[in-house]
Amino acid sequence: MEKMTFKTDRSSLTEGEVITVEWDCLKAERVELSIDNGYKATIVPLETAGTKRFRLNRSKGRTRLTITAWVNGKSFSKTIKVRVNTMPTTHAETVGDDYAQHPPQGGVKGWWQSITARWHSAYQMMTPQKQLAVRILTILAAVFIISLIFPRLLFLGLLAVVGYLAWVVWKK
């Protein structure tokens, strides 16, 4: 085909960037654009002339853009190879994450560190009312467990709970 133009606005880009394709095949009956990134080829039907933008996300280094025009049953093609550089990766570091800075060890010590880290994180996200309820529940559980061993201490434990609640009421 004598008058077939096909061009792109760039010959190199990074994954995820947009490329503009411009073509002119005025005497063609049908026009298609093939985009082959090395993994998969896609065919896009086009008008006989125009401009289109494509985002090139993934490539094996080069993406082939081939325009094919049919005139009187014969096909004519032009190919442009575009270099597609991989997107640079950035090393990210979490700041203030106790779990990441001190990963748990094996055995009972590691299990205990994991449980306490998760509990601390969950406790910090609770409302103040829930935090108070958790503290009271913990004190009551400790009083009942100790009273199983020393039944006479049940009264003193409950007195300690009442004293703590009175302190909370007058403190706030």
pTM above 0.75, yes or no: no
Which token pair is 49?
A: 């002339």
pLDDT tens for the chain, 172 residues: list them. 568 899 999 999 999 899 999 999 988 999 999 999 988 899 999 999 999 999 988 888 899 999 999 999 899 999 999 999 988 777 766 555 555 555 556 788 888 888 888 888 888 888 888 888 888 888 889 989 998 999 888 888 889 889 888 888 888 6
